[in-house]
Structure 1
Amino acid sequence: MIAVVSDTHSETGHELAGRTRDAVEAAEVVLHAGDFTTEAALDAFHDAADRLHAVHGNADTPAVRDRLPDARTVELAGVRVAMTHTERGGDTGLAMFGRQRGADLVISGHTHRPRVADAGDVVLLNPGTHAEPRGHPVTHAELEPTDDGLRGKIKRQDGTVVEAFGVEGRT
């Protein structure tokens, strides 16, 4: 399983709880779309996750920014995943960001609002926030490999499914 989180906004730790904590601890890979805020939060994620791929966000300290890129691309289960915290231009900007990287899936954060959008040749995923909802539900995403890509679910902290979706790989 692949756990996807964003927008931790913590001074002290990973702020994981409930199903989100279970998912991160059980995941083979954890993807974080930025805004840890401090090195303590980033280090706590490294301790909780077997394998962490992350980008920095706009609220991260200079020390976190020095340790993480602002964008990254990884291959998971035949799906090319491009990650960034935010991109100017909303969905259009995110889709262009993904296309420039040959991605099937773009993961972003920043809005704290969980959502999935189909942009034609790329799927846009914002897992929401697991720690600072700002009027939105507390959420994360879980991805499972399939024969032709990934099957995903955005889940609340109690495990309730908010939205299910799929991403086909190009390989």
Structure 2
Amino acid sequence: MKVLIVSDTHKSHRNLDLIIEREAPIDMLIHLGDVEGCADYIEAVADCPVHIVRGNNDFFSELPAEEEFFIEGQHVFITHGHYYYVSMNEERLKQEARGRGADIVMYGHTHRPCFIKEDGLITLNPGSVTYPRQEGRRGSYMVMYASEKDGVEVEQKFV
């Protein structure tokens, strides 16, 4: 299964459209928040199952703050991350994920990519498609390949 993971598009679709075209076909899209009212657009262009959580800029949104689901036998926990103070570090988020029995936790909010694999937990942040904050300031996203047989592989990519 090929899963496209993005975050923090902030109403701008140019890079998201390019990424979806580049990575097609995808089996699932995960958006980790700050869509700013554009969830319907994202669901329409993805043309696959979509999971979107509410970010700190998704005012008055009815999107869920968090979601848990399974991908090829892996328990996935997604959130924007601001309620777990991820701008400081990922420790509270990782603690919560472990408490929920998650194998993979995904978050956004910081606009900086992160990939940590430790103690049976994968923690990842694709960065921001629109407003990157890491060195080089290139829009970023991740692609995850998952299968029951081979497990999970994650690639960090740039626009």
TM-score by length of 1: 0.80
| Alpha carbons of structure 1 residues 73 and 114: separation in structure 2 relative to 1, 3 Å | same
| Alpha carbons of structure 1 residues 76 and 104: separation in structure 2 relative to 1, 3 Å | same
| Alpha carbons of structure 1 residues 23 and 99: separation in structure 2 relative to 1, 3 Å | farther
Q: Which amino acid aligns with 1:4?
A: I
Q: Which amino acid aligns with 1:53?
A: H
Aligned pair 1:56/2:57, yes or no? no
Q: Secondary structure at the match of 1:16?
A: helix
Corresponding position of 1:154: 156
Corresponding position of 1:16: 16
- What is the CA–CA distance in structure 2 between the aligned matches of 1:71 and 1:24, rounded to whole Å? 25
Contact 2:30–2:50 (8 Å) recurs in 1? yes
- What is the CA–CA distance in structure 2 between the aligned matches of 1:94 and 1:148, rounded to whole Å? 26
Q: Once the 2 structures are TM-superposed, how far is the Cα of residue 149 of structure 1 from its aligned partner? A: 1.7
Q: Secondary structure at the match of 1:59?
A: coil
- What is the CA–CA distance in structure 2 between the aligned matches of 1:113 and 1:29, rounded to whole Å? 22
Aligned pair 1:138/2:139, yes or no? yes
Corresponding position of 1:75: 70
Contact 1:31–1:53 (8 Å) recurs in 2? yes
Higher mean C-alpha deviation, range 27-36 or range 145-154: 145-154
* Identity, % of aligned positions: 29
Mapping for residues 1-171 of structure 1, pairs under 5 Å: 1-10=2-11, 13=13, 15-18=15-18, 20-22=19-21, 25-38=24-37, 41-49=38-46, 50-62=48-60, 65-66=61-62, 68-86=63-81, 87-88=84-85, 90-135=89-134, 136-146=137-147, 147-157=149-159
- What is the CA–CA distance in structure 2 between the aligned matches of 1:15 and 1:71, rounded to whole Å? 25
| Alpha carbons of structure 1 residues 24 and 56: separation in structure 2 relative to 1, 3 Å | farther
Q: Once the 2 structures are TM-superposed, how far is the Cα of residue 97 of structure 1 from its aligned partner? A: 1.8
Give the number of aligned pairs.
150
Runs (4+) of structure 1 exceeding 4 A deviation are: 12-15
Q: Secondary structure at the match of 2:9?
A: coil
Corresponding position of 1:167: none
Contact 2:39–2:52 (8 Å) recurs in 1? no
The unaligned stretches of length 5 or more in structure 2 are none
Q: Secondary structure at the match of 2:128?
A: coil
Q: Which amino acid aligns with 2:114?
A: R
